[in-house]
Amino acid sequence: MRTLCLRLILFLLPISAEAYEVSTHRAMVAASAPRSNVDALLRDDLGFPEGLATSVRGQALANWLTDGGTDEDNFPRFLNHFHNPLASNWSEAGLGGSVGQSAILWAQNPAQSAPSWSWRDVRQAYLDALTKSASSDRDKGLATTFEGLGRQMHLVQDAASPAHTRNDPHILFNYESAIDGLRLREASTFVSWRDRAPDTPGAPDPGWQSLDGNPLAPIAIARLVDADRYTGANPGVTMGALIGLSEYTNANFFSEDRIFTENDVSPQSRFPFPKRSSVVEQDVDVQVGGATVRRRYLVKIADGAIGYRLATVGFLREYHRRFGLDLGRFRETPSLDEAVYRDYAERLVPRAVTYSTALLDYFFRGQLFVSGNDVSMAIRNSSDEPMSGTFTLYYDDAGDTRRPVPGGSWTSALAPGARLTDLRVIAPTSPAPKEPGKYMLVFRGALGTEPDAVVGKQVAIESVLSARLLKRKDGTPIRGAAIQAIDRTTGQPMTVATTDQDGRAQLTWRPGRTVLFIPAVNLFPMYWAGGTSFVSTTEGAHVIQAGDLDPQGQVTIPIPIVDAQWPERTEECSGQPQFAHSPQGFFREGTLRSDGNVDLVTVTYGVNLITFMRDDDGRETILCGSDSGQCKTPAAGFVAEDVNRISQVVGHLVRDILSGHIRQITTPDGAPLGDPVCFNNYAESDVVPVTVFEP
């Protein structure tokens, strides 16, 4: 009952428990964000090229962060923003011991209230931001993530407010209201505090992440606030870089109602430092209402941080001194004036900003790196801590719906720098991705000592296939042949490769958008239409799907290598072809007769013009003319579809052609013996059918 009443009384007191006023928090959170790595991470790892300036749900992510830093003070959350680092137990380190929860426990308490903004809740929001199917839900998750982080940063910043580390439910005007007033009235002074480095270089030492966890608040962020290194007897340790912010603040600063309370009877308000031996008196000229007055201060010279005004001397100091009064019995009541607050802020505001920046970076500390392609992909843990959990690939379809990639999830434990290798990704095609090859890789699991960490990384995974070209007739590899993967949507070639000794070529492709083009295995260009079929345009070409690939990621294409075949007449005099497929042909052959003479056959061929005319569309291809060096085979007029027409007539040779045939008996020396046996000259056109055949 007594405890309940005490809680009620404390609850009803008009304490200004908002620590730094909300506008000060907003300013400090806003200063932390650009100092952190989060802007670069958003741009480089998560696919938000505008970084913190990215507009999500109507405002920039930076604004969601500052909104969180502001709204964390809403009723009645502020009651849980205290942490006494000297409490025997963190469960008793909050306001009034246990009236409010310690800020450390509050930060990790998933049952805060509706909504709850604990670290775990923020993690869940981040997971939603990366994995929710609807883009509006992902946006909500991202906004919630940053708002939640702003709230978490607020809790860290409160540890740089003396009253919040010395269990002081301060009333009326205090350090925080003074700083906010100065922020408004001396903007440049506040900015100089905000942008200053902590008085201990390197604070906080990154080692805080590795300190042993406290079971009450096991996530390492607790150590940013309380590293459990300051015991109440060792204030010097608070000037090291590895120290909790509340420890530094508690040991080196006063709050309004906790001044020289080293001998206080209540353990809730007994703080051993700073103590009287930590200070000396010193006169300092200060400006009051435009006038310069000399005021005596207690300047801190020992026991941790030194060299600043800790408090004014008490108003009754001279009275005490003159009458030799015992300060233990007659309280001196030093106080904190604006000059003291300025000295405090010069040291505490930089720490608040720096420590809350560290928290932000800690949230996004996980690093992933992906290499390889869909046939053999590797995921590397580029973090400084081990990862143990599930790595899942997602993609966005044309409607911005995020979907898990079928089969694209792997559970593994990876030490720092270790890789998960030989992963096969079946690139999704149904529904088709908005941007083929672009994925979001999401890790969920233990990162170091944090059990449910989330890491996101936008990755580009090239889809690679191995195309193997074989001669259909005998299955031998087709070597040195060019092959192209063409994006059917754009018509542009994606990759060009040449087959190796085994007939294989590696090609980058986009599942559901790629066709294969084989320009020169035959004399005519061909698009693969599946099986042993080919077409001459992309229409009708086979769009490669993941299912076309065998387990090795290979697609095998048997190609009929065809040629043209047509009949030739035999000339009766010479016994040779009546016409030759050659513009300037000449033939001579002698046969030794039994009488010792020679039967000499001489043939000359000439061509005015040979064309090949297709039967299906009448298209004519000139094969040679009188000035040609040689004639092309009619197969040059074939089209890809003709390979499916083996033994069929696909067109005709149209020939305007000449030839002369002479048969003459000669002596062995070549002298003619009498008239020719026969001679014929031809100048005519003929038309002969051309058949496709597979040699």
Looking at the Cβ atoms of 97 and 511, the one nearer to other proteins is: 97
- Residue entry with tokens 């730094």: 20
Distance in Å, CB of 183 to other proteins, minimum: 8
Greatest Cα pair distance, the chain, in angstroms, is 163
110 binds other proteins (CB under 8 A): no
Which DSSP category does 539 fall into? T
324 binds other proteins (CB under 8 A): no
618 binds other proteins (CB under 8 A): no
Three-class DSSP category at 654: strand
Cβ atoms of 351 and 340 closer than 8 Å: no
Cβ contacts of residue 145 below 8 Å, gap of 6+? 122, 125, 126, 129
Distance in Å, CB of 161 to other proteins, minimum: 14
53 binds other proteins (CB under 8 A): yes
- Which stretch in 65-73, 210-218, 328-336, 430-438 sits in contact with other proteins by CB under 8 A? 65-73
57 binds other proteins (CB under 8 A): yes
Looking at the Cβ atoms of 75 and 323, the one nearer to other proteins is: 75
676 binds other proteins (CB under 8 A): no
66 binds other proteins (CB under 8 A): yes
Looking at the Cβ atoms of 20 and 395, the one nearer to other proteins is: 20
Give the pairing of strands 463-471 and 554-559. parallel
Cβ contacts of residue 43 below 8 Å, gap of 6+? 49, 50, 51
Distance in Å, CB of 35 to other proteins, minimum: 11
Exactly one of 22, 105, 478, 640 binds other proteins (CB under 8 A); that residue is 22
Please list every residue from 153 through 192 that binds other proteins, using CB under 8 A: 171-173, 177, 181, 184-188, 191
Distance in Å, CB of 76 to other proteins, minimum: 8
Distance in Å, CB of 63 to other proteins, minimum: 4
Looking at the Cβ atoms of 17 and 658, the one nearer to other proteins is: 17
List of E strands, 231-341: 279-288, 291-300, 308-312
Looking at the Cβ atoms of 170 and 614, the one nearer to other proteins is: 170
β-bridge partners, 611: 622, 654
Cβ atoms of 169 and 13 closer than 8 Å: yes
Distance in Å, CB of 250 to other proteins, minimum: 22
23 binds other proteins (CB under 8 A): yes
In terms of Cα–Cα distance, which of 660, 640, 658, 659 is closest to 650?
Answer: 640
72 binds other proteins (CB under 8 A): no
11 binds other proteins (CB under 8 A): yes
315 binds other proteins (CB under 8 A): no
Distance in Å, CB of 176 to other proteins, minimum: 11
Which DSSP category does 174 fall into? -
Cβ atoms of 515 and 481 closer than 8 Å: no
Distance in Å, CB of 509 to other proteins, minimum: 32
Exactly one of 40, 76, 282, 390 binds other proteins (CB under 8 A); that residue is 76
Could you give the strand order of the β-sheet that contains 279-288, starting from the edge strand earlier in sequence? 279-288, 291-300, 308-312
Which amino acid type is present at position 582? S
Alpha helix locations (H) across 113-174? 119-131, 135-158, 162-165
Alpha-carbon separation of residue 140 from 63, 131, 152, 383, 447 (angstroms): 14, 12, 18, 27, 24
Looking at the Cβ atoms of 185 and 322, the one nearer to other proteins is: 185
- Which stretch in 49-57, 114-122, 385-393, 395-403 sits in contact with other proteins by CB under 8 A? 49-57
Alpha helix locations (H) across 159-285? 162-165, 175-185, 187-194, 222-225, 245-252
- Which stretch in 72-80, 122-130, 550-558, 582-590 sits in contact with other proteins by CB under 8 A? 72-80
Give the pairing of strands 419-423 and 534-535. unpaired
Size of the site for other proteins (CB under 8 A): 47
128 binds other proteins (CB under 8 A): no
Looking at the Cβ atoms of 1 and 687, the one nearer to other proteins is: 1
Q: How many CA atoms lie within 13 A of 692 on its CB side?
A: 23
Cβ contacts of residue 495 below 8 Å, gap of 6+? 484, 485, 507, 508, 509
Which string of DSSP letters, residue by residue, matches 358-419? Answer: HHHHHHT---EEEEEBSSSEEEEE-SSS-EEEEEEEEEEBTT--EEEEEEEEEEEEE-TT-E
Looking at the Cβ atoms of 173 and 586, the one nearer to other proteins is: 173
Looking at the Cβ atoms of 185 and 329, the one nearer to other proteins is: 185
Distance in Å, CB of 187 to other proteins, minimum: 4
578 binds other proteins (CB under 8 A): no
288 binds other proteins (CB under 8 A): no
Looking at the Cβ atoms of 31 and 160, the one nearer to other proteins is: 31
Distance separating alpha carbons of residues 31 and 69, to the nearest angstrom:
12
- Which stretch in 47-55, 153-161, 204-212, 478-486 sits in contact with other proteins by CB under 8 A? 47-55
289 binds other proteins (CB under 8 A): no
59 binds other proteins (CB under 8 A): yes
Looking at the Cβ atoms of 1 and 233, the one nearer to other proteins is: 1
293 binds other proteins (CB under 8 A): no
Distance in Å, CB of 292 to other proteins, minimum: 15
481 binds other proteins (CB under 8 A): no
103 binds other proteins (CB under 8 A): no
- Which stretch in 22-30, 298-306, 310-318, 507-515 sits in contact with other proteins by CB under 8 A? 22-30
Cβ atoms of 258 and 273 closer than 8 Å: no
Looking at the Cβ atoms of 46 and 427, the one nearer to other proteins is: 46
353 binds other proteins (CB under 8 A): no
Supply φ then ψ for residue 212, to 5 degrees. -60, 140
In terms of Cα–Cα distance, which of 161, 235, 240, 234 is closest to 202?
Answer: 240
Which amino acid type is present at position 41? L
Q: How many CA atoms lie within 13 A of 27 on its CB side?
A: 22
Distance separating alpha carbons of residues 426 and 526, to the nearest angstrom:
27
Please list every residue from 207 through 236 that binds other proteins, using CB under 8 A: none
Distance separating alpha carbons of residues 277 and 289, to the nearest angstrom:
32
Q: Which long-range contacts (CB under 8 A, 24 or more apart) does 204-208 make?
A: 204/241, 204/242, 204/243, 204/245, 204/354, 204/355, 204/358, 205/240, 205/241, 205/242, 205/243, 207/242, 208/242, 208/244, 208/358
67 binds other proteins (CB under 8 A): yes
Distance in Å, CB of 297 to other proteins, minimum: 20
Looking at the Cβ atoms of 175 and 612, the one nearer to other proteins is: 175
Exactly one of 38, 45, 69, 78 binds other proteins (CB under 8 A); that residue is 78
Distance in Å, CB of 33 to other proteins, minimum: 8
Distance in Å, CB of 277 to other proteins, minimum: 33
- Which stretch of DSSP H or E encloses residue 43? helix 38-44
- Which stretch in 45-53, 144-152, 159-167, 400-408 sits in contact with other proteins by CB under 8 A? 45-53
291 binds other proteins (CB under 8 A): no
Contact residues: other proteins, CB under 8 A: 1, 5, 8-9, 11-18, 21-23, 26, 30, 33-34, 50, 52-53, 55, 57-60, 62-63, 66-67, 73-76, 78, 171-173, 177, 181, 184-188, 191
